A and B are shown apart, each in its own frame.
Chain A
């Protein structure tokens, strides 16, 4: 049929079919700003102005839109300039990946047309239909306010951090005066507490606008789905309806007979090659217990077959016509049941090796001990034992997994894919498709969020097999439901802490016994639990420590990497446990922690024993030490901001006018890591262009995190140019240097140091060439600043002059440099997490009123993007604590695989948040930087738990804190 719509002001006739949605036809018309987030409209990534109102275009049929007007973000892109709303979103750091920014900008346009000076409630209501996992809506709200001011003709305040005076000397605790209130500023403004040890810089440390801002605020083609390829086929995956079954027969003849179907692949026609899908360094941790298609399925949603067809609908129809017979096997879901004698053996195939005890579904046993925990516990004044259970959640990036594969003109395999690990994917994919690494190329465009789910070779092998089978390009985009139960999730665990304390309140022994649930496959199963042990036993000084862990196979949807990577689980247990010990000892919970937490110069005595590639039992001669720690300043700033003194104020805690409400405050001490020592490696190359600008190639993968911007700032600082003179490109295995990828909080620290090294090489050569031009003997006396090279006598040449000279005129050469970096260190960032809650003691409903995180991430290279990481991290952490959960029925099928039933926080219900960036100088990092990306995932759950305890005296040691669970706890069962 033909429809006529007024598209961005133009009468447009479009051919479409009855089942097609407005989203489909808009994308076909080239409107790349309108993006897929789910098929039920609740992510809002597809929202357009439909008859001037914001509406999700994937729930509107194209036919319904006939005769209506549709406005997309493209309507603003009439020339190279930015509309004031676009400019405000760029200036305030309101987008990280920018996947849904089109919808936000359109909503803002509409809101401001009706309401030039909207209230915060109105802004948040407008944003309520656009889900965001990255910004926590904090900076988008600021962007709308700024845009409103500009459109009203006012001059907006420049968006800069609020500089605060330190409250401490950086080492010693201070008493916070209850009457001392922190300076007022919008939530979106990062509070920056500078350190005198940090040298001044001109690009580093500045709130620079993201280097990809224009591309994102204009909705230009940027993401995997935005690139059209002629002859593209669409793939769909047939997934298992059973949690555990053997495939006894598979018949694809009817599926193949449908017109438009080009290939069907399954275990009978794809080679059986073992691998582990986690995107990790060579050699991938064992066991290698997966194959592309198996004759057995091990969870509901496991792969059975895949189809490539001319449209997604045909592919789906074909999937339904594949006849599969199953021998259904018993299944097991709980990690504590998986080792029982009556539990089914999940990996009974002979070709999976390196399973610790196959018959008990025990994948790994991990053990590390320092000192002698048993005798220390025996001699301790008091001992405590406490068990915690944590559940399964999904990272839920708004862009689902998507990959496109094709054979290029040299018949090499190219995969453009939403991945955090392009280089690992290339190495892991090549053997599965029988090609050499040199014949595989992985391109990572912009990514709409990953958070660990994309640290995985999840679907690249499927599109690669299909592209090879059909010799046509093939794309696979997961549905939202598949994203929930067929991608990757956080590991459920049962954690038992045992701690011994002496008469003065010092820890003398600490043990963490952990049973980890790695689901049907071991991917990340070893390393997530290892990190849980590492993080769970690193925060506090103690000579006797032990980690004792069993990792179990079960039939739940596959756990894998998720931002935090074992730490959120471990720190939930640890920080609850420490709170309870303090209260039992009659000590102030922060004072008790302070007495024990690691300080500058203290050894990190368990870290080297729990590595990615295995544990060691041998004592080392030397242990890594903490070299920077801003926790005292974090605690001081955070307690002032939350009003920590109120935790004992009974009249505040029991409001007289609301008798069913109790109030409470909670705290958690957080310590994370920065990169994997001796393993994470990043490379960078920089070359000089004719005009004195630079191209910078990095293998590091910006997922919306702002990595490209931060790495560019580091290079710009070294080269004495503004950020706009550095053109950053990431990442493409044919073009950019190697990088392990975006995980383990490593990019700024590792890839940033690589960028600094590459820039240093270029700088040295620039100075030498400048010395030639200025006729100076000693090149190192030259300084680079303001796009020029300066001699000590005040003369200078521009970088452009150096470039023209070196490329065209004299002793021609390409000035370029490369750098790569691997670190022996893993300097921990530290943070103080505070929350304020209200709890309805009659219903069990809790409301989070405010979250404050004060974090020592060394020097924040970009305070705006760094605070954005903290805000988004806290939103995800709050979901973990409060409302997100994957719920399975007794057959292992997910009950709630859509947003809504799987509850993630919306703009109109977020608590207030405040972020404090406490500077310290970490000498091992580029310009003093440590990591910031993962630590905000660690403290919210224990802080909320401790706030419930503060409010009601009730301890809840299981997540999440849903009303029914809290209600039961309050009732005492």
Chain B
């Protein structure tokens, strides 16, 4: 269990921003990661549930997903692209995906997140709010690589493109296991995108023609670096075959 000093539930964004700018204050979304992390320092939690950040809406060809939207809600929403719905389901089991949010998923940036990889290929843009710049829209890949994390910033929403054809290929120990490596791919009018999990500290966009270039995957008991590279090659080529309508 996380060590928790205090719990607060701000009613508006200004209040929330000013709270999280204080020392050891962090945003709380679903809590599936934050409330279960035993290794953190004692924290003040700032619960975002009253900030009206939930919901899914279409606007000029894009889909805007509020950061507090749960993976369950995304999975059930028929406006969302199939791949996004599917990876919201595969990300967590039934008893956790009703709590976990898309904002929390992005903020934790888990290397193995199929949902993040799927969002990456759907050109996700993250709307972030901080007290100095106000709202700004940042490509998801830039949010993920921020070394200092999202200090004193709030994820407000995520915009994704819904056109094109997208899919995900994965290898895990069992069918519903968190994949050792997964490859998400999308084809739309202006070309292909590809993102890979399990090869870097967060899911990463790669060159669909040359997906392993500059990858240096970590090794663990589920697969060493070399095996992970091998999986990227195989899964990427399968993904392209599927996009090409082969097989």
Contacts and interface: CB of A to CB of B under 8 A. Distances in A.
Interface of A: 1, 18-19, 21, 39-42, 44, 47, 50, 53-56, 59-61, 63-64, 66, 103, 107, 125-130, 657-658, 840, 842-845, 847, 882-883, 885, 887, 895-896, 900, 903, 905-906, 908-909, 962-964, 967
Nearest to B224: A964
A54 B94 contact: yes
A837 B132 CA distance: 58
B35 A964 contact: no
A896 B2 CA distance: 19
Given A18-B5, A60-B99, A962-B222, A905 B174 contact: yes
Nearest to B28: A64
A61 B35 contact: yes
Contact of A64 (B49, B93, B173, B178): B49
A268 B28 CA distance: 44
B171 interface: yes
Among B9, B47, B174, B234, chain A packs the most CB atoms within 10 A around the CB of: B174
Contacts of A127: 94
Contact of A19 (B1, B96, B97, B177): B1
B230 A967 contact: yes
A44 B45 contact: no
Contact of B93 (A60, A128, A895, A964): A128
B231 A843 contact: yes
Interface of B: 1-7, 9, 28, 30-32, 35-36, 38, 45, 47, 49, 72, 89, 92-99, 171-178, 180, 220-224, 227, 230-231, 234-235, 247
B96 A56 contact: yes
Chain A binding site: helix, strand, loop or mixed by DSSP? loop
A658 B238 CA distance: 11
A56 B49 CA distance: 18
B177 A44 contact: no
Contact of A55 (B4, B5, B99, B222): B99
Contacts of B6: 18
Given A18-B6, A61-B4, A107 B222 contact: no
B221 A887 contact: yes
A50 B7 contact: no
A588 B57 CA distance: 63
A882 B222 CA distance: 12
Contacts of A964: 180, 222-224, 227
Given A125-B89, A909-B175, A896 B221 contact: yes
Given A61-B7, A61-B31, A963-B180, A895 B95 contact: no
B95 A129 contact: yes
B173 A21 contact: no
Contacts of B235: 843
A40 B31 CA distance: 10
Given A50-B98, A845-B171, A59 B31 contact: yes
B95 A103 contact: yes
A1 B8 CA distance: 11
Among A39, A42, A59, A883, chain B packs the most CB atoms within 10 A around the CB of: A59
Nearest to B32: A59
Nearest to B96: A41
Contacts of A103: 95
Contacts of B171: 840, 843-845, 963
Contacts of B31: 59-61, 64
Contacts of B177: 883, 903, 909
Contacts of B173: 845, 882-883, 903, 962-963
The 10 closest A-B CB pairs, nearest first, are: A129-B95, A129-B93, A129-B94, A909-B176, A909-B175, A53-B98, A63-B7, A883-B173, A128-B93, A40-B36
A18 B42 CA distance: 12
A47 B96 CA distance: 9
Contacts of A64: 7, 28, 31, 47, 49
A903 B174 contact: yes
Contact of B72 (A40, A44, A53, A840): A53
17 contacts: A19-B2, A44-B93, A53-B72, A53-B98, A59-B35, A59-B96, A657-B247, A883-B177, A903-B174, A905-B174, A906-B93, A906-B176, A909-B174, A962-B173, A962-B222, A963-B172, A967-B227
B42 to A, nearest CB: 9
B172 A107 contact: no
B94 A107 contact: yes
B234 A126 contact: no
A59 B96 CA distance: 8
A910 to B, nearest CB: 9
A371 to B, nearest CB: 43
A55 B180 contact: no
Contacts of A845: 171-173
B224 A55 contact: no
A250 B66 CA distance: 53
Contacts of A658: 247
A887 B179 CA distance: 18
Contacts of A883: 173-174, 177
Nearest to A130: B95
A885 B221 contact: yes
A41 B221 contact: no
Among B31, B94, B220, B221, chain A packs the most CB atoms within 10 A around the CB of: B94
Given A895-B221, A909-B176, 10 more contacts: A19-B3, A41-B95, A42-B95, A44-B95, A56-B96, A60-B31, A128-B176, A842-B234, A847-B175, A964-B223
Contacts of B174: 882-883, 903, 905-906, 909
Contacts of A657: 247
Contact of A126 (B36, B94, B175, B227): B94
A172 to B, nearest CB: 39
A948 to B, nearest CB: 15
A19 B4 contact: yes
Nearest to A879: B174
Contacts of A19: 1-4
Contacts of B180: 963-964
Contact of A59 (B49, B89, B99, B221): B99
B36 A59 contact: yes
A650 to B, nearest CB: 21
Contacts of A906: 93, 174, 176
A964 B94 CA distance: 28
Nearest to A128: B93
Given A130-B95, A845-B172, A900-B178, A61 B234 contact: no
A125 B91 CA distance: 12
B101 to A, nearest CB: 12
Contact of B4 (A18, A44, A840, A905): A18
Nearest to A906: B176
A55 B95 contact: yes
Nearest to B171: A843
B1 A39 contact: yes
Contact of B45 (A61, A130, A962): A61
Contacts of B97: 129
Contacts of A887: 221
Contacts of B45: 18, 61
